[in-house]
Amino acid sequence: MKHHYALLAAALAIAPLAPAEVPGNIAIKDAHIVTVSGADLPKATIVLRNGLIEDVGTNVTIPPGTWVIDGTGLTVYPGFIDALSTWGIPGAIPAPAGRAAGAAAQSPPAQTPAPAQALTQAQQQNPIEAENAGRPNVHGPEDRPQTYSFERAADLITPTDNRLEAARAAGFTSAATFPNRGIVEGLGAVIDLSGERGRDMVVAQPVGQQILFRVGGGGMGRAFPASLMGNIAYIRQLYLDLDQYKRAKETYASNPSGNRRPEYDHDLEGLAESPRILLPADQAQQIDRMISFGQELKVPYVLYGLHEAFKRVDQIKQANVPALISLKWPVAPRDADPTDIPNYRDLVIREQAPAVAGMFAKAGVKFAFYSDGVDTAPELKRAVKKAMDAGLSRADAVRALTLNAAEIYGVADRMGSLDKGKIANVVVTKGDAFDDRTTVEYVFVDGAMYQPSKELQQGPPAGGAPGGRRGTTPGNDSEGGRN
Amino acid sequence: MRTSWLALLLAPAAAGLLIAADNSVLVRNVDVHPVTGPEIHNGAVLVIDGKIAEVGARVAPRAGARVVDGHGLQLYPGMINAATNVGLEEIESIRDTIDLDEIGTFNPELRAEIAFNPSSEHIEVTRAAGITTVIALPGSGGRGGRGGAASPVITGQGALMHLEGWTWEDMAVKPSAVMDMLFPEIQGGGGRGGFAALLGGPTRTYAEEEKLYKQKLDQISQFFNEAREYKAAKAAAGPGFKRDIRLEAMIPVIDGQLPLFVRAERERMIKDAIEFADKEKVKIIIADPREMGSTGPMLKAHNIPVVLGKTFQLPMRDDDPYDAPYTLPNEFYKAGVKFCFGTFDVEFARNVPFEAAQAVAFGLPKDAALKGLTINSAEILGVGNELGSIEKGKMGDFILTDGDPLEAKTNIKQMFIGGREVSLESRHTREYEKWMKRP
């Protein structure tokens, strides 16, 4: 912080605390600018003003009063977007895409408020019963098991999540973040990773409804659905209910007088509001299943997981479905029995999963990456690099993390590329993105400037991943060892 | 139909004429397969008072011995299933019919023969397949708990039982034939632990699991030491000596007389079991291994026999060859390890000849398979002088068949246990008869 603009930088870093003071003009001059939407500009200028990109190009007039950063030797990218995240929702645990049977077992409920409508009076008085609400006496789809479709990520965002700082240090400025409990997990929001209050961070919502199949019957009690087929049948029923619900509402709206009003159903409202549905599809068979299921549901759908998608590239291309690839590459389990012989299929998946992105790029499948519990800067960087080492070009990697993610969630009009008028989400690096020696010099989120510390970029000492709970397999495992 | 009703009809008539003792019989005009020697074509076997008195090409009839004409039939020793829970479990899903798997780590004082139900339907059914003798084990081999202290180690004494008799006392050939032991195992850390974590279970690293395993081994050694101390105290017969049936039951084990029937699936477990046997100076039998790995020469060098489990099962690992369980017996054979067959269950104990036969289809010499159902079984179980072959002085346990007993098509025509003819009727044949009569 000994540069000549140190004071200004410090002021801007604090700026989000006082939103009114945010406007400050910054220009990065003579930098290599990767616009993503258009051609790379080897020597160009970008002006950020009022939290937006004021101008970008080779022939840009820098307004007076603008703080100018000499961009020589620097590269400017659009801020990276985590395409399926829990960042900003601190209690959330990354949801696995279902490595076993395309299903995950019940995870502990996130620290989010229980749905008040589902509670009896007794349950409202007893917090333990309240937490279990809807679990023990679930017999079928009519009981709406593990359905939190009405829960909104936008309402759950807290800027104090300590993963945000680490994400910014890796160049991430935004995330499509989702609540994660139950089978129907709730409404996601695209957020910017900086803000004084949660509401400051929300860019767009709702952007989707995440589905996660949970096999095992809801924790302690045996409750429907306990099987994968039960899970799928339940979602199918839910969408049939939604169809009927919509029609009933339309009919009533056109002629309310003399008709009973249809009952308000907040589960279905949450579903109706969602512009798309995210389906877990990690293994090849599950990909087949989810493509046909998505087509059957007749709602826009997105697949996530996709570690075994190297077997299904053509099918995904043909289905014309966007795909979110987990950056938590499968690796040999830690602390495993040394005499255990890994099976061939696992070995193939471990080796081939990072190549999926490159295959998608060649085939023209629209895809983005998601953090899936990888949430320290060096691990994120290495995870992306691993896909590049397996055949993904740098340009495609950057596009996957920026414009593709924005397009998949329908927010490409405001983020995902360096174009005039978009949100000032920008990452400035010394060196090419994701290379080992590359450092992130500046990150602008909504125009607010951050200079990530070297410590964050190099990562905490081994074993000290922040929020190191289940699902946070450090990416550096994937570097060493036999894969 | 395996049963020759003709033979059954003729038998009482013949017996009546000769006023025979019901455990003396001469079977003649039969192809004798002694197993320990060459086949005797058109030979005869004479049993007097339950014991084989003569075997040969020509044997003179003896007064008081019933004569059976074995024309066109083959005579084999009665087969032995060296690992079952027959008599101790009737219906797997009804707890009240099961007398297995006591709680606790060390239960050497439990005796399977006492619990043996002489009226079990499984006895007749198993017998109908040509099996005259089984080991009844007091443990099912299921492991309680994951690597915890509660998983059983010594489940009790397995009994060698004839499949014929009014009471368990009648049926017991060798009441305490083996000491059933589940060798502890390092539970899957990491890989499987990760799966347990998904299910909300606790995770342990491999290192932690290994530590628990070592603790368990220490616990076992300590128990064996206690048994030795007890033995010394008993010999000293001091005034303060208190009898303890648990430790008392261990004396034949630590003396090396009663073999530990050590269930060890994996190569590593087998190795550790051998090491354990060396250290404790006890006799062991390796039971139900699923792989041999590098243990063949060790087993041979230590003269440790093996009771093989089912061949009709899936390979242990995803990528194992499909025929790994079928070829396993031949691996042990080629390594020069003495082995026999068991099924480690109840309702399929009758299939033991076919479990062995499957190994023959995958390379095991036929005579080795047959020995693994007869003489090797008897020798491994410490009754080599009494059972397992057609030789003078042994019990009159044999079967008359119309072919090779390893062939599924072969019918068991008659069975003798201790020279006494045994009915081959069973629930299966009764059901068959009943439904054949359906108009």
Last residue of a domain, one of B346, B361, B387: B387
Q: What is the DSSP string of B69-128?
A: E-TT-EEEEPEEEEEE-TTTBS-TT-GGGB----SSSB-TT-BHHHH--TT-HHHHHHHT
Per-residue model confidence (pLDDT) at position A442: 95
Region A6-12: mean pLDDT is 44
Looking at the fold, whether B337 and B408 belong to one and the same domain comes out as no
Q: Do B198 and A338 make contact, defined as CB atoms within 8 angstroms? A: no
**Under DSSP, is residue A309 helix (H, G, I), strand (E, B) or coil?**
helix
Looking at the fold, whether B164 and B22 belong to one and the same domain comes out as no
Last residue of a domain, one of B348, B364, B387: B387
Per-residue model confidence (pLDDT) at position A93: 61
Tokens of A299: 């709602």
Minimal-distance CA residue of chain B relative to A95: B198
Minimal-distance CA residue of chain B relative to A339: B268
Region B268-276: mean pLDDT is 96
CATH assignment of the domain containing B258: 3.20.20.140
Q: Is the pLDDT of residue A411 over 80?
A: yes
Q: Is the pLDDT of residue A13 over 60?
A: no
Q: Is A219 on the interface with B (CB under 8 A)?
A: yes
Label residue B150 by pLDDT band (50, 70, 90).
low
Region B114-127: mean pLDDT is 96
Looking at the fold, whether B35 and B143 belong to one and the same domain comes out as no
Per-residue model confidence (pLDDT) at position A334: 78
CATH assignment of the domain containing B32: 2.30.40.10
- Per-residue HEC secondary structure of B89-100 comes to ECCCCCHHHECC
**Cβ-contact A302, A278 below 8 angstroms:** yes
Looking at the fold, whether B196 and B265 belong to one and the same domain comes out as yes
> On the CB side of B339, how many CA atoms lie within 13 Å of its CA?
30
Share of chain A above pLDDT 70, in %: 79
Q: Give the list of residues 6+ apart from residue B114 with CB closer than 8 angstroms, or none.
A: B168
CB-closest option in B190, B200, B209 to A333: B190
Chain A hits for B268, Cβ within 8 Å: 339
Reported for B139-143, long-range contacts at CB under 8 A and 24+ positions apart, including other chains, are B139/B100, B139/B101, B139/B180, B139/B182, B140/B85, B140/B89, B140/B100, B140/B101, B141/B182, B141/B263, B141/B288, B141/B344, B142/B101, B143/B182, B143/B185
Q: Is the pLDDT of residue A96 over 60?
A: no
Q: Is the pLDDT of residue B17 over 90?
A: no
Tokens of A389: 């080492």
Per-residue model confidence (pLDDT) at position A470: 33
Q: Do A337 and B318 make contact, defined as CB atoms within 8 angstroms? A: no
Q: Do B318 and A344 make contact, defined as CB atoms within 8 angstroms? A: yes
Chain A hits for B213, Cβ within 8 Å: none
Share of chain B above pLDDT 70, in %: 90
Q: Do B198 and A341 make contact, defined as CB atoms within 8 angstroms? A: no
Q: Is the pLDDT of residue A469 over 70?
A: no
Label residue B113 by pLDDT band (50, 70, 90).
very high
Q: Is the pLDDT of residue A303 over 60?
A: yes
In the block, which residue shows the tokens 């590593």?
B268
pLDDT tens digits, one per residue of B33-84: 999 999 999 999 999 999 999 999 989 988 889 999 999 999 999 999 999 9
Looking at the fold, whether B142 and B214 belong to one and the same domain comes out as yes
Looking at the fold, whether B279 and B149 belong to one and the same domain comes out as yes
Q: Is the pLDDT of residue A476 over 60?
A: no
Q: Is the pLDDT of residue A115 over 50?
A: no
Q: B399 is in which domain, residue-wise?
A: 1-78+389-439
Region A336-346: mean pLDDT is 85
Per-residue model confidence (pLDDT) at position A225: 86
Mean pLDDT value across chain A: 83
Label residue A132 by pLDDT band (50, 70, 90).
very low
Q: How far apart are CA A377 and CA A82, in angstroms?
A: 12
Region B377-393: mean pLDDT is 97
Looking at the fold, whether B114 and B35 belong to one and the same domain comes out as no
Cis bond leading into A108, ω under 30°?
no
Q: Is A339 on the interface with B (CB under 8 A)?
A: yes
Nearest partner of B282 among B103, B154, B387, judged by Cα: B154
* Distance between A109 CA and the closest CA of chain B, angstroms: 12
Nearest partner of A58 among A24, A26, A31, judged by Cα: A31
Per-residue model confidence (pLDDT) at position B186: 85
B379: part of which helix (H) or strand (E)? helix B375-380
Region B106-123: mean pLDDT is 96
- In total, chain B counts a number of residues equal to 439
The one-letter code for the residue type at A288 is D
* Distance between A100 CA and the closest CA of chain B, angstroms: 9
pLDDT tens digits, one per residue of B305-319: 999 999 999 999 889
Q: Is the pLDDT of residue B356 over 70?
A: yes
Minimal-distance CA residue of chain A relative to B200: A107
* Distance between A360 CA and the closest CA of chain B, angstroms: 29
In the block, which residue shows the tokens 């093989």?
B308
Looking at the fold, whether B55 and B113 belong to one and the same domain comes out as no
pLDDT tens digits, one per residue of B421-430: 999 999 999 9
Q: How many of the other CB atoms lie within 10 Å of CB of B385?
A: 12
Per-residue model confidence (pLDDT) at position A137: 67
Looking at the fold, whether B277 and B393 belong to one and the same domain comes out as no
Q: How many of the other CB atoms lie within 10 Å of CB of B251?
A: 17
pLDDT tens digits, one per residue of A233-253: 999 999 999 999 999 999 999
- Per-residue HEC secondary structure of B258-307 comes to CCEEEECCCHHHHHHHHHHHHHHCCCEEEECCCCCCCHHHHHHHHCCCEE
Alpha-helical (H) ranges within A202-343 are 228-254, 266-273, 284-297, 313-319
Q: Do B318 and A334 make contact, defined as CB atoms within 8 angstroms? A: no
Lowest-confidence region among A118-127, A372-381, B177-186, B346-355: A118-127
CB-closest option in A105, A333, A336 to B199: A105
Looking at the fold, whether B371 and B409 belong to one and the same domain comes out as no
Region A300-311: mean pLDDT is 97
Q: Is the pLDDT of residue B400 over 80?
A: yes
Label residue B188 by pLDDT band (50, 70, 90).
low
Per-residue model confidence (pLDDT) at position A145: 86
The domain tally of chain B equals 2
* Distance between B192 CA and the closest CA of chain A, angstroms: 8
pLDDT tens digits, one per residue of B289-298: 999 999 999 9
Label residue B357 by pLDDT band (50, 70, 90).
very high
Looking at the fold, whether B306 and B210 belong to one and the same domain comes out as yes
User: What is the pTM for the complete model shown?
Assistant: 0.79
Nearest partner of A311 among A285, A344, A280, judged by Cα: A285
CB-closest option in B189, B200, B266 to A335: B189
Q: Is the pLDDT of residue A462 over 80?
A: no
3-state helix, strand, coil in chain B (%, to 5): 35, 20, 45
Per-residue model confidence (pLDDT) at position B110: 96
The one-letter code for the residue type at A468 is G
CB-closest option in B198, B317, B318 to A104: B198
CB-closest option in B186, B200, B206 to A106: B200
Looking at the fold, whether B246 and B369 belong to one and the same domain comes out as yes
**Under DSSP, is residue B325 helix (H, G, I), strand (E, B) or coil?**
helix
Per-residue model confidence (pLDDT) at position A336: 79
Q: Is A216 on the interface with B (CB under 8 A)?
A: yes
Per-residue model confidence (pLDDT) at position A480: 30
Label residue A339 by pLDDT band (50, 70, 90).
confident
Per-residue model confidence (pLDDT) at position B387: 97
Per-residue model confidence (pLDDT) at position A460: 59
Q: Is A340 on the interface with B (CB under 8 A)?
A: yes
Secondary structure letter of residue A413 according to DSSP? T
Q: Do A104 and B209 make contact, defined as CB atoms within 8 angstroms? A: no
